[in-house]
Structure 1
Amino acid sequence: MTQPPHEDKPASSPEELREHVERTRAELGETVEALAAKGDVKARAQEKAAQVREQAAVKASEVREQAAVKAGELRTKATDVAHQVQDKLPEPVREKAAQGSRMTRDNPALLVAAVGAVTLVVWLACRRKR
């Protein structure tokens, strides 16, 4: 193997020679460590996977936050629309709607039964048309 030309002047004393050898050893050790790190594909892949997981977690957090904000906006909008529709209804219809709302809030099983009955009626009607 050929050695690159050194610009260092030749060592004039054994102490300078020892210092030069120690410096060269340290540089060589650092070079070997760097090459070993580059060659450790498994460790590099694990580091990259950890980075990707962290980025995905950050992105997921951002998306959850945006979804929560959007859901709040939609909830507010739906409430506003419901109030507008309710304001346009005649008084007897408004009273019946309020009564139905109270009943379902007080007895959720009644709501499930009503939805089931409506589903059954729609299903039977669709079967008869065939």
Structure 2
Amino acid sequence: MTNEPRSDIGTPTPDELREQVERTRDELGQTVEALAAKADVKAQTKERATAVKEQVAEKTAVVTDQIRAKAQQAAQVVKGRTPEPVLDRAAQASGLVVQATTRAGRLAADKTPGPVLDKAGRAATAARAHRKPLLAVGVALVVLLLVRRGRGRR
């Protein structure tokens, strides 16, 4: 065999055959990789779960912002409709409640056994660590109650 160019008959040269074999190997390798990726259900599930998780996080952020805005609007409406003397009395009452709560808390702490205080401390720490979700739930509850109350009057 010689390394001469093709003859008029169309027989490929050994170099051309090597190139064809190499191209075919590359194409076959790519095909095998594509098939392996399609067969890897675990990886596909993981990718889909990640995508869904990101979508949920985005939607949660949007809904949380909407709830926060509605709660602020509701608070402004209530404050705008409340007379000044009532606001003053509410502030005074709030101060009295804070003082009474502080006294009651001290009394309860003095009379509560140590293990119960430890558990309560751990619960408070957990609540502080998850402050945002707890606030979002609280705001959602307040908005729900306000909406129900408003519909009940109609």
Q: Same fold (TM over 0.5)?
A: yes
Q: Does 1:101 find its partner at 2:79? A: no
Q: Which runs of 5+ in 2 are unaligned?
A: 1-9, 104-154
Cα distance, 1:99–1:79 mapped onto 2, change above 3 Å:
closer
- Between structure 1 and structure 2, the one with the greater Rg is 1
Summarize the alignment of residues 65-84 of structure 1 with structure 2, pairs less than 5 Å apart. Answer: 65-83=65-83
Q: Does 1:63 find its partner at 2:63? A: yes
Cα distance, 1:100–1:32 mapped onto 2, change above 3 Å:
closer
TM-score (norm 1): 0.62
Aligned-pair CA distance for 1:103? 4.5
Q: Which runs of 4+ in 1 moved over 4 A?
A: none
CA RMSD of aligned residues (A): 2.8
Q: Secondary structure at the match of 1:12?
A: coil
Amino acid at match of 1:102: Q
Summarize the alignment of residues 19-34 of structure 1 with structure 2, pairs less than 5 Å apart. Answer: 19-34=19-34
Q: Partners in 2 of 1:100 and 1:74 — Cα distance?
A: 17
TM-score (norm 2): 0.53
With CA pairs under 8 Å and 6+ residues apart, which has the higher RCO, 1 or 2? 2
Amino acid at match of 2:81: V
Q: Give identity over the alignment, percent.
A: 38
